[in-house]
Amino acid sequence: MMGERTGAQEALFYQFSLERHVPAGHLVRAIDRFVDLAGIRAHLKPFYSETGRPSIDPELMIRMLLVGYCFGIRSERRLCEEVHLNLAYRWFCRLGLDGRVPDHSTFSKNRHGRFRDSDLLRHLFETVLQRCIAEGLVGGEGFAVDASLIKAEASRQKGVDGKAGLSPEAAGRAVEEYLAVLDDAAFGAATEVTPKFLSPADPAARWTGAHGGQAFFAYSTNYLIDVDNAIIVDVEATTAIRQAEVLAAKRMIERSMERFDLYPARLMGDSAYGSAEMLAWLVHEHGIEPHVPVFDKSARRDGTFSRTDFAYDHVRDLYTCPGGKELRRYRRHFSVTRDSVDPHGFMRYRAAKSDCGACALKSQCCPAEPPRKVLRSIHEGARDMARDIAATEAYVTSRRQRKKVEMLFAHLKRILKLDRLRLRGPNGARDEFHLAATAQNLRKLAKLMPRGARAAAA
Q: What is the DSSP string of 361-410?
A: THHHH-TTSSS-EEEEETTHHHHHHHHHHTTSHHHHHHHHHTHHHHHHHH
Q: Mean pLDDT across the stretch 17-37?
A: 91
What pLDDT does residue 446 have?
94
Asked if the model's pLDDT at residue 169 lies above 60, the reply is yes
Q: Is 221 helix (H, G, I), strand (E, B) or coil?
A: strand
What pLDDT does residue 85 have?
94
Q: Are 440 and 148 in contact (CB under 8 A)?
A: no
Lowest mean pLDDT among 153-167, 273-287, 346-360, 444-458: 444-458
Closest C-alpha among 84, 429, 417, 446 to residue 238: 429
Lowest mean pLDDT among 43-52, 167-176, 347-356: 167-176
Size (the chain), residues: 458
What is the distance, to the nearest Å, from the Cα of residue 242 to the centroid of all Cα atoms in its chain? 12
Q: Which helix (H) or strand (E) holds 142?
A: strand 142-151
Q: Where are the alpha helices (H) located in 71-157, listed in sequence order?
A: 76-85, 87-92, 105-110, 116-117, 120-134
Confidence of residue 331 (pLDDT cuts 50, 70, 90): confident
What pLDDT does residue 330 have?
81
Asked if the model's pLDDT at residue 222 lies above 90, the reply is yes
What pLDDT does residue 168 have?
66
What pLDDT does residue 456 have?
44
Q: Mean pLDDT across the stretch 99-120?
A: 91
- Cα distances (Å, whole numbers) of residue 297 to 64, 306, 321, 384: 50, 10, 19, 15
**What stretches of 188-260 adopt beta strand conformation (E)?**
197-198, 206-208, 216-226, 231-239
What pLDDT does residue 455 have?
41
Q: Are 162 and 210 in contact (CB under 8 A)?
A: no
Confidence of residue 6 (pLDDT cuts 50, 70, 90): low
- Could you give phi then psi for residue 351, rounded to 5 degrees? -85, 160
Asked if the model's pLDDT at residue 370 lies above 60, the reply is yes
Q: Mean pLDDT across the stretch 327-350?
A: 75
pTM: 0.89
What pLDDT does residue 216 have?
93
- Cα distances (Å, whole numbers) of residue 47 to 43, 55, 169, 450: 9, 12, 32, 37
What pLDDT does residue 160 have?
85
Asked if the model's pLDDT at residue 218 lies above 60, the reply is yes
What pLDDT does residue 377 have?
85
Mean per-residue pLDDT over the chain, rounded = 88
Q: CB neighbours of 123 closer than 8 A, spacing ≥ 6?
A: 39, 43
Residue 222 or residue 366, greater confidence: 222
Alpha carbon distance 457, 55 (integer Å): 44
Alpha carbon distance 111, 58 (integer Å): 11
What pLDDT does residue 410 have?
96
Q: Mean pLDDT across the stretch 49-58?
A: 86
Lowest mean pLDDT among 72-86, 187-201, 229-243, 405-419: 187-201
Confidence of residue 397 (pLDDT cuts 50, 70, 90): very high
Q: pLDDT over 90 for what percent of the chain?
A: 53
Strands 326-328 and 318-320, bridge-based pairing: antiparallel
Q: Is 359 helix (H, G, I), strand (E, B) or coil?
A: coil
What pLDDT does residue 457 have?
45
Residue 256 or residue 309, greater confidence: 256
What pLDDT does residue 334 have?
58
Residue 10 exposure: Cα atoms within 13 Å on the Cβ side: 3
What pLDDT does residue 267 have?
96
Alpha carbon distance 178, 184 (integer Å): 10
Q: Mean pLDDT across the stretch 172-197?
A: 85
Q: Which amino acid is at 159?
A: G
What pLDDT does residue 35 have?
93
